Amino acid sequence: MKIIVNQIEFNILIDESKRSGEKIPIVFLHGFTGSAEDWHFIFDKLPDKYFPIAIDLIGHGLTESPDDSCYYTCTAIINQLSSIFDYLKIDKLIICGYSMGGRAALSYCLHFPEKLIAAIFESTTAGIEDFELKKERVISDFIMAEKIRKDGIENFIEYWMNLPLFESQKKISSYDLIKNKKYQNSVIGLSNSLLGFSTGLMPNYWNKLNLLKFPVLLITGGLDEKYTAIAEKMKIRFQNSEHKIAENCGHNVHLEKPDVFINFVLNFLNNLERKYYEL
């Protein structure tokens, strides 16, 4: 479905026929160059008491890609998510985000903790603590944004998918299909996403993680040593969290090992039911 909030048309993957006031919404947010369709695999695997929703973040998929990069900042994305949830009349939710989508999810959680039942962060960081490293990353992401504008989508996606971070994805049988779907993104959308919400520009949230009281599930791939180490560090900061590692898997667990990812999520939801609330 398409909705207009904050002057932007957003595409949302949602099955209205399964929606009811008694079901708990689980909102899924994709990573950079991804789309809401990336999460379709898990929709029919969730227990009936949950209601899945996936959003094309600004500049991605079928959501609009405005020219002005101010629509892509951390604050703007938080406000966009809040407006979408208000439009859908969602008062309480579980949120799940991967990589860039995880950063967006974490940002939302820290601004609206009262809205959260629980959160799932896959291959996510709480920001860059060191100022010099943060500055270097901003410069790097700005150069990357210029590369997108100069080289075009197809050349950039070819470059992006050949980064060491995504090397393990090449073993997936549907790899070419996955890569081809990324060509549907726009130059403006991807470049502005880096100019507005790169990892370098994301606020440093490390000292705020302890403020979140709801249950948190952290998921990483065992081959992704960088983000597995980050998740271990985040686990210590959260009040109530667990970290699951998918063996022989890289940065994108839900893509490379969907059955393992689903199992992690279902076990987490089952524990929630037993320990924290009655459905």
Q: What is the pLDDT of residue 222?
A: 97
Question: For residue 110, how many C-alpha atoms fall within 13 Å in the half-sphere facing its CB?
Answer: 21
Distance between CA 192 and CA 59 in Å, rounded?
7
Helix 131-151 to helix 153-161 angle (10° resolution) is: 130
The answer, yes or no, to whether residue 93 has pLDDT greater than 90, is yes
Query: Rounded to two decimals, what is the model's pTM?
Result: 0.95
User: What average pLDDT score do residues 253-268 get?
Assistant: 97
Paired tokens of 19: 């929606």
Q: Can you list the positions of beta strands (E) in the chain? A: 2-5, 8-14, 24-29, 50-55, 93-98, 116-122, 216-221, 241-246
Distance between CA 90 and CA 81 in Å, rounded?
11
User: What average pLDDT score do residues 184-209 get?
Assistant: 96
The answer, yes or no, to whether residue 65 has pLDDT greater than 60, is yes
- Element containing residue 155 per DSSP (H, E): helix 153-161
The answer, yes or no, to whether residue 278 has pLDDT greater than 70, is no
Which of 93, 101, 58, 98 has the alpha carbon at shortest distance from 191?
Answer: 58
Distance between CA 152 and CA 279 in Å, rounded?
48
Backbone angles phi, psi at 91, to 5 degrees: -95, -35
Which of 47, 17, 54, 59 has the alpha carbon at shortest distance from 254?
Answer: 54
On the 0-12 / 13-18 / 19+ scale of CB atoms within 10 A, 78 is middle
The region, left, alpha or beta by phi > 0 then psi within -120 to 50, assigned to residue 5 is: beta
pLDDT in tens, 107-164: 999 999 999 999 999 999 999 999 999 999 999 999 999 999 999 999 999 999 999 9
The answer, yes or no, to whether residue 22 has pLDDT greater than 70, is yes
User: What average pLDDT score do residues 170-179 get?
Assistant: 90
The answer, yes or no, to whether residue 18 has pLDDT greater than 90, is no
The answer, yes or no, to whether residue 170 has pLDDT greater than 70, is yes
pLDDT in tens, 204-252: 999 999 999 999 999 999 999 999 999 999 999 999 999 999 999 999 9
The answer, yes or no, to whether residue 276 has pLDDT greater than 60, is no
Q: What is the pLDDT of residue 279?
A: 46
Paired tokens of 242: 């667990």
Q: What distance, in Å, lies between the first and last C-alpha atoms of the chain?
A: 27
